[in-house]
Amino acid sequence: MPNTLAEAVRQKIHDGSLPVDDPLKVWAGIGSGNPCASCEEPILRVQTEYEVMYYDERPSIRLHVACYGLWEAERHRRRSKGLSY
């Protein structure tokens, strides 16, 4: 079980729960109450929600601001090291 949110993001990228490829669009708006794809906590209306959309049939993913930042950082770190997952 991951101890930190960053570890949870890394694990979800590793197991394929979070994508590593670039999205088509990223929208930001008021939280919808849906769970965050990273921490699995609801994104409340008083919070900003990032909705990440892809060009294929994958459903969009929703992330808290902090979770989105960690996901972006991990994606870029993996890319710079040549890791594919």
The 10s digit of each residue's pLDDT in 44-55 is 999 999 999 999
**Rg of the chain over CA atoms, in angstroms?**
12
Number of residues in the chain: 85
Query: Token digits for 66?
Result: 């902090």
pLDDT greater than 90 at residue 9: yes
Of the pLDDT bands very low, low, confident and very high (cuts 50, 70, 90), residue 79 is: confident
Quote the distance between the C-alpha of residue 26 and its chain's center.
11
Q: Are 63 and 52 in contact (CB under 8 A)?
A: yes
Residue spans of the domains in the chain: they are: 5-77
- The answer to whether the pTM exceeds 0.85 is yes
**Which residue do the tokens 């060009």 mark?**
55
